[in-house]
Amino acid sequence: MNYKLINMKVFGDERGKLISLEGNKNIPFDIKRVYYIYDTIPDFERGKHAHKNLEQIIVAMDGSCQFVLDDGEKREEVWLNRPDIGLYIGKNMWREMRHFSYGCKLMVLASEHYNEKEYIRDYQKFLGSIKND
Ligand code: TYD
């Protein structure tokens, strides 16, 4: 399974906490894009796609949600609910996000610019693309 949870170093004192994310240092790729998801509600699922060439780190800045990660053979569930843990998702991983808390805030760091052509949004096509690798 091409994913892992990364514990971020926290600089904390009586004023609060700070986490620094740097490309090719504690983030294992060059960061080309940042996007965030907010104003979520529990009723809807998101994601349901894979990427051939994209790596991402996702952090739940506030609230929680569940990720389903699938490499075509195995399916695993991971909860994101802390701002000091990043979920790294590598190439060729199907992901679904669900069970969002109200107002969950997800920040996503990505290794590539947005390119819709690079998305695989059909699960059967995803399975086919894995076999052809
Ligand atoms: P979508 O892929 O449905 O979000 P997710 O699967 O991560 O929940 O994206 C929602 C819309 O936002 C869709 O029209 C594409 C657009 N979008 C961009 O324009 N740039 C981006 O970097 C991303 C992630 C999405």
Nearest to 120 by CA among 101, 94, 84, 87: 94
Q: Categorize the per-residue pLDDT at 18 as very low, low, confident or very high, splitting at 50, 70 and 90.
A: very high
How confident is the model at residue 87, as a pLDDT? 98
Would you say residue 130 has pLDDT above 90?
no
| Structure confidence by residue, pLDDT tens digits, 72-88 | 999 999 999 999 999 99
How confident is the model at residue 131, as a pLDDT? 81
Distance 49 CA to ligand 1 centre (A): 11
Q: Delineate the domains of the chain, giving CATH numbers in brackets.
A: 3-8+23-132 (2.60.120.10)
Distance 61 CA to ligand 1 centre (A): 18
CA distance 14 to 82: 19
